[in-house]
Amino acid sequence: MKNGFISVAAATPHICLCDCKKNAEQFVKTAKNAVENKVKILVFPELSLTGYTCSDLFLSDTLVNGALDALKYYIDNTAEYDLVSLVGLPVQSKDKLYNCAAVCCGGRLLGLVPKSNIPSYGEFYEGRHFAPSPDTVTEFEFDGYSVPLGSKILFECKTLKSLTLGVEICEDLWVSVPPSAALAEAGATVIANLSASNETVGKDSYRLALVNSQSARIRGGYIYANCGEGESTTDLVFSGHSVISENGIALAERKPFDFSFGELLISEIDTQRIVHERLRINTHQSNNSNGYVKAGFSLKEEETPLTRKTDAHPFVPSDTMEREKRCETILSIQSQGLKQRIERSYAKKCVVGISGGLDSCLALLITVRAVDSLGLDRKSVLGVTMPCFGTTSRTKSNAEKLCSELGIDFKEVNITDAVNVHFKDIGHDSEDRNVVYENAQARERTQVLMDLANSCNGLVIGTGDLSELALGWATYNGDHMSMYGVNASVPKTLVRHIVSYCADKAEAGAKSELAAVLRDILATPVSPELLPADNKGNISQVTEDIVGPYEIHDFYLYNMVRFGFTPDKLFRLACRAFDGVYDKKTLLHWLEVFLRRFFAQQFKRSCLPDGPKVGSVALSPRGDWRMPSDASSALWLSYVEELKKTIK
């Protein structure tokens, strides 16, 4: 339960139709298995104590009473388990029979939630036996005490405030406005669905889409437990297809008919992330809990072992087709944004500083794409290389080749003499290679670009990326400034994949020379090249040696900005994501660096040039990110100090 994670499971036991006692005995074993796997919420299928396919036997008092007795047996024999269980059974209240979910914890029945939408179409005829849930919550006597019965019940965890459980049953999900929508508005962060959905061709894809889309719509967790073996196959077959989803993403899925999988489908739902998402999206309706009854329960506060995937590269899809699609979409967003800026500013030329590195390469590719879409000659793009103290022959050569292969205008402006004159003017010793030595070059380059743009009625196209902005790895009023920053919301880890995608497209288009130069740029260490090369002419100033690996910083950036995770949670997830790649000490060191730089460098982000948003994480002061430049990082860094005590 630490950091808001709660372990949940969808159970698909092999039942014995109509043998309630035997099923209850099996469910106790299933619950024991769940507890041994640290599960805290266990969801059984619809009507699982009896079986869903009992048909007219549901009208038998023997079966209904047997189900209640079996429920009592299950509750009594799981009383010591630190577990919330949801068991399906028929329940008669007064003159109505309901298809119910029994919510159990700590040796007590917390409440009964009847199904609201009773299907009587196609292969379903539940209306023959069951009534829909009553409009209001009533009382039901069970084992000598009263429990609430109704669809408007919220089950609140007292020891994890971000966990509130809501319940719907099978068909409830398939209607136009599922009860889970209102439950989420009333405060439920996790929905349990006890289901008996038979299998037909193509139904599994539709079912998965329903679960994922509903969890996205309510911004919550969703546990869909479906029945399988043991149900009658007289007319229908049940596959056990079950899903655990969170905010539109399937965390775990039992594929249809995968009965070798075992009874339990387990994953962890991040309830803190759900609450943060609802805080962030202010159109999420909340506090609409009028008419809802609340039932409380407690679970032991302990750390939840994580089995869910933690993506080390959250900006970059792991699937090749999805990654290529994302690259193409981002290229389209960037070039379309620049295209309109060129049109609206009546620019005659686009000026791009070309260093031979990744960011300027991507900016140039975007600029060429934009002018192509405008039907302009590529000579309306001017690539400018500005060698100085740290420029290597490799990057200079790649800059020249790239401009040549793209067919754009090219200009070389060696700024060495200008920078040395500037050093003389301000009294700086050129042997003192401090921040003045470095930043003077960056600012001189920006001045050259701006003046060249002015001379040809042009726009300076910015090259800096999202990762650099997060770390403040840019010279203020140097490469920090431009007239339109096309890469402003593209992280470094994704820049690399977009350039690689462009190289593959060039290769496929028989532009092998362009592909070759793009691939050599990809193979070049990331560097601002502001310090002289080593004795062999190689880059001496490698960015990631100074500020840290971009893949780590992009991981911290995404999860802190997108989900508001605390530093201890960031560290915990990083340890899992980069297990075997970086040790804990290294990850904690770069977390501290990230936090210090992120806060200290906000002043650079407060005055950024315009640039298009391409993803869910962006740092534009006019759009997604409004942060005071003088905010203190002390509170965030206090977490780091505590974490240091745990690492030897």
What does the alpha-carbon distance between residue 254 and residue 260 come to, in Å, rounded to a whole number? 10
Return the closest-CA partner of residue 103 out of 61, 56, 159, 164: 164
Strand, helix or coil at 119?
coil
What does the alpha-carbon distance between residue 195 and residue 47 come to, in Å, rounded to a whole number? 8
Pairing of strands 138-142, 145-149: antiparallel
Question: Tokens standing for 133?
Answer: 């849930």
Catalytic residue IDs: 46, 115, 170
Question: Tokens standing for 205?
Answer: 């894809």
Q: Which residues contact 84 (CB under 8 A, 6 or more apart)?
A: 40, 41, 42, 103, 104, 105, 110, 155, 165, 297, 299
What does the alpha-carbon distance between residue 97 and residue 336 come to, in Å, rounded to a whole number? 60
What is the rounded end-to-end Cα distance, in angstroms, of the chain? 25
Q: Residue written as tokens 């260093």? A: 355
What does the alpha-carbon distance between residue 444 and residue 450 come to, in Å, rounded to a whole number? 10
Describe the strand order of the beta sheet including 293-297 as a list of residue ranges. 249-254, 242-246, 221-226, 190-195, 164-169, 153-157, 293-297
What does the alpha-carbon distance between residue 482 and residue 352 come to, in Å, rounded to a whole number? 10
The DSSP code for 241 is -
Pairing of strands 242-246, 221-226: antiparallel
* 326 backbone φψ class: left, alpha, beta (φ>0; ψ -120 to 50): alpha
What does the alpha-carbon distance between residue 204 and residue 421 come to, in Å, rounded to a whole number? 71
Strand, helix or coil at 105?
strand
